[in-house]
Structure 1
Amino acid sequence: MKRKMLGEYLWMKRQIFLFVFLGVVIYAFVGWLYGEAAETVLYQTFLWILFTGGILLAGFPSFCRKTEQLKYLKSALDEYLAEFPEAENKIEERYQEILIKMEQIRKKLQEEQGNRYDDLNDYYSMWVHQIKTPIAAMGLLLEDADPKQRQDLSLELFKIESYVEMVTGYLRTESLGGDWLLKEQDLDSMIRQAVKKYAKMFISKKISLNYEPVSAQVLTDEKWLVFVLEQILSNGLKYTGKGQISIYLEDEILVIEDTGIGIEKEDLPRIFEKGYTGRNGRTDKKATGIGLYLVKKIMDKLGHGIWIDSEVSKGTKVYLDLRQKKLEMI
């Protein structure tokens, strides 16, 4: 470390070395013109180099201290930016003033953004709370509806409830840190919860389910992983006109496979981006590009892996790697 610092210090002082070198050359040339003895020239040159080297070495400890301080400030920029090492000249002082001003502006913008997010979060939280009342009322009214229309209307009401849950999930994932409980969970139990929620849609769209118990235990958060499974099943059902959805283990990886319309190859690298809908989304005007974004975000937080393989007109496979990994701490 010291050797690296010494190299940086000497490089920073390269102009002084150049000045000393030119001074020695000029002095030796003038001495030669005036016929001075070589010993005198060499002795005076040695003293000049020794004096200059002493001054440079005397400044090295100060350079080391300042470098360490700046490294520390870099690692704790938000909290200690005001604790710059003492400026050696007006130029350094001006740079420090500029950096402190920029940090003040950054903090102000961050605070304003945080306030805007809090306002938006409060609004949508209120909206989610209020929308549940008419949804519940519609559910009661459907009990007295015409049996011929009840099934279709129930399915549409279910879609509304799913969209509300997605909004709730989005708001929660923005502050996921305090809202998870990790423990060994039965994977089949979580799969059954997700499948049960979409049972009516399976029946309505006449899509078969190919699922045999996987008999596996995983370290995860039950609520959030069920949410992930529900989102994946929802997408599979949405984009599968006929055929089946299969759920199985492949080399300890959970696979959810559908026989739907598939995803274009050029869309695959971006399908987890927030708001990205791809070609399917441009066809389906109601697509939001939020579902898979939430799925990826939750899987990352839980330390699980996820990737997708798909072929147009043949279907899509979603791979969930639920093996224990390092969790993303928030």
Structure 2
Amino acid sequence: MWRTIYYFIRERIGWISLCVLQIFFILIYLYLYFYFHKQAFDLLIADWGYLLLLTGTLLLLFLVIQFIRWYPFYRRTELLLHEAEKMDDFGHLGKVSLAEHKRFYQVMRRLYQVASQEKNQYEDAHQQHLEYMNLWVHEMKTPLASLSLILQKMDIHALPEEERNHMKSMEEEIEKLNDELDKVLNMARLDDFATDYHIRPVSLLESVREVIHHKKKSFIRLGIFPKIEADQDEDWEILTDRKWNQFAIEQIVQNALKYASKMEERSYLTFRFLKKKKSIYLLIEDQGPGIPKQDLPRIFDPFFTGENGRRFSQATGMGLYLVRKVFTALSHEITAESEEGKGATFILTYSIHK
């Protein structure tokens, strides 16, 4: 309250100064007049105190009335300044009494209308873009599915070795395209995440098994072996959205496979399950080249590819960024540890469902 009164007085210090100066000059004038005319000078001296008290009381009364009319509007704007979370909070400021507040309110209403129009235009454009992206991804998936079906129907073993290698390369590229299209589709849907997720109890162990099954061709082709280390008697149930959580795990696995495959020796991708207090931890450990120390703090930044991305493959730098974004929306946590040349470990933290 004292800070509010300070703001009120500070804005009206000019009025107060003018009023005090007027009183001062009037008193000086009266003093000089009666001093030189020697008329009722003693009476004037006695009445100065009453004059100052009267003018001071009137000034104080004026300021109190102004403050009573000014404070409700100031209080509402102060609350908006510190507590407003969305644009619609500024749509109504309540009843205003002072003329300057009414003008300010009119400006605010006009600003709100303009902002609402721009917001609606942006949302319409965004929705059109999202619909186009969904349509485009599905249109691209149709010919890819046809190509994949054609490859499956072909008797690859009857072909010469060189052609078999070409077919395997084609199958690998089709798989990469499918993965990237899924990434594009999920990235477009992330902006509308609130309408596209359902939190419920999910078995984390079963989710990991489904991801491994979905990526089994990649595991076989790249010569990397998945290994699950979990107590089968434990309950690995968590609260999450099954689809989005599996998407995030798939992105981590895809990254691990991509970089671990660049190593000359065959390796393992280990899924280690731990339970401590009220949390379940999933550690995904690869035996790839590891992440350079200087890159580790930035691997979740958008479009950051790092030294490995430039050295081993044409990385987009969006996979881990999407993982962090999904995990943040789901209230999960993800961190990474790595030592260059000794692989990387991604630590996924979930709350236990009870």
Partner residue of 2:184? 167
Q: CA deviation at 1:191?
A: 0.8
DSSP-derived class of the 1:194 partner: helix
Q: Percent identity between the aligned chains?
A: 25
Q: CA deviation at 1:80?
A: 5.3
Q: 2:202 pairs with 185, 191, 203, which one?
A: 185
- 1:254-310 deviations in whole A, cap 9, x for unaligned? 211222233344433433333333333444663222212221121112111112233
DSSP-derived class of the 1:322 partner: strand
> AA paired with 1:66?
F
Q: CA deviation at 1:102?
A: 3.5
Answer whether contact 1:69 1:85 (CA < 8 A) is retained.
no
- 1:106-139 deviations in whole A, cap 9, x for unaligned? 3333223222222221222111222222122112
Q: 1: distance between equivalents of 2:91 and 2:247?
A: 42
Q: 2: distance between equivalents of 1:304 and 1:210?
A: 23
Q: 1: distance between equivalents of 2:63 and 2:188?
A: 58
Answer whether contact 2:302 2:318 (CA < 8 A) is retained.
yes
Answer whether contact 1:155 1:200 (CA < 8 A) is retained.
no
**After superposition, where does 1:152-301 map in structure 2 within 5 Å?**
152-214=169-231, 215=234, 216-240=236-260, 241-242=262-263, 243-250=267-274, 251=276, 252-283=280-311, 286-301=314-329
Answer whether contact 1:31 1:41 (CA < 8 A) is retained.
no
- 1:63-84 deviations in whole A, cap 9, x for unaligned? 1222234356664753653656
Partner residue of 2:50? 43
My pick for the range that moved more, 172-181 or 75-84, is 75-84
Change in CA separation of 1:264 and 1:32 when aligned onto 2, cut-off 3 Å = farther
Q: 2: distance between equivalents of 1:107 and 1:262?
A: 48
Answer whether contact 1:73 1:81 (CA < 8 A) is retained.
no
Q: CA deviation at 1:196?
A: 1.6
Partner residue of 1:328? none
Answer whether contact 1:231 1:292 (CA < 8 A) is retained.
yes
Normalized against structure 2, the TM-score is what?
0.79
Equivalent pairs counted in the alignment come to 323
Aligned: 1:78 with 2:88:
yes
> AA paired with 1:203?
I
Q: CA deviation at 1:159?
A: 1.5
Aligned: 1:122 with 2:131:
yes
- 1:160-209 deviations in whole A, cap 9, x for unaligned? 22112212222322212232222222111111111122222222222233
DSSP-derived class of the 1:275 partner: coil
> AA paired with 1:314?
K
**After superposition, where does 1:124-163 map in structure 2 within 5 Å?**
124-143=133-152, 144-147=154-157, 148-149=164-165, 150-163=167-180
> AA paired with 2:245?
L
DSSP-derived class of the 2:351 partner: coil
> AA paired with 1:109?
E
- 1:73-100 deviations in whole A, cap 9, x for unaligned? 66475365365654734x6565445444
Which runs of 5 or more residues in structure 2 are unaligned? 36-40, 158-163
Partner residue of 1:314? 342
Answer whether contact 2:271 2:282 (CA < 8 A) is retained.
yes
DSSP-derived class of the 1:288 partner: coil
> AA paired with 2:209?
R
> AA paired with 2:198?
L
My pick for the range that moved more, 123-132 or 5-14, is 5-14
> AA paired with 2:286?
D
> AA paired with 2:129?
L
Answer whether contact 2:197 2:241 (CA < 8 A) is retained.
yes
Larger radius of gyration: 2
Change in CA separation of 1:179 and 1:24 when aligned onto 2, cut-off 3 Å = same
Change in CA separation of 1:269 and 1:39 when aligned onto 2, cut-off 3 Å = farther
Q: 1: distance between equivalents of 2:288 and 2:17?
A: 72
Aligned: 1:12 with 2:11:
yes
My pick for the range that moved more, 130-139 or 274-283, is 274-283
My pick for the range that moved more, 128-137 or 73-82, is 73-82
Answer whether contact 2:259 2:312 (CA < 8 A) is retained.
no
Give the superposed CA RMSD: 3.0
Answer whether contact 2:130 2:189 (CA < 8 A) is retained.
no
Q: CA deviation at 1:11?
A: 3.1
